[in-house]
Amino acid sequence: MAAAWRRERPGTPVSSIGIVTPLWRLAKLFGDDRRRVLARAGVDTATLDLLSMLRRAGEPYTLTTRELADRSMITAGAVSQRVARAEREGLVTRRPGEGRRRSVLVELTDAGHALVETTVDQVLTRESDLLTGLTPEQQNQLAELLRVLLHDVQQRLDDHRLSQVGEPD
């Protein structure tokens, strides 16, 4: 691909193709595979994202809808829809927050906790299996390089919505 662009558009910088294109392809492959794992587990990506954010928050596994929106990079309306669906399924509960009039607290139920525990294990085990083509040292090197690249791109784009890999969200 890079050679063809070099031939057709001499002078156009093509070095990014060797990095960005494989990242896009890997993101597609990982995303598709994750959706298949989740379908077998009977949960969708949006629900797992919601439950995972609550689980990672630590006890009492509660966040406000605003915190959920900030951490997930989706609108308040989308958070409300996700929470409503998860509440109908018995995975979370909602209640008014203390202090702020319009604040809503979302809490993981026992059923939601059990589902996220099982599903996260399935997803992370599968993704670990997909990385076995790299040695542990190569995985660490790649993780560090991707962390550096993500941080730099976030700085350049002034977009800090995603937490750094390995940092609490």
State the average pLDDT over residues 125-136: 97
Closest CA to 123 of 53, 59, 56, 35: 35
State the average pLDDT over residues 135-142: 98
Does residue 134 surpass a pLDDT of 70? Answer: yes
Q: Is it true that the peptide bond before 60 is cis, omega within 30 degrees of 0? A: yes
Question: CA-CA distance, 103 to 40, in Å (whole number)?
Answer: 35
Does residue 53 surpass a pLDDT of 80? Answer: yes
Which stretches within the chain are classed as H helix?
2-8, 17-41, 45-56, 65-72, 76-88, 110-130, 136-157
Query: What value does the mean pLDDT of the chain take?
Result: 91
Cα 22 to Cα 8, 26, 36, 68, 73, distances in angstroms: 21, 6, 21, 30, 24
Question: CA-CA distance, 51 to 30, in Å (whole number)?
Answer: 20
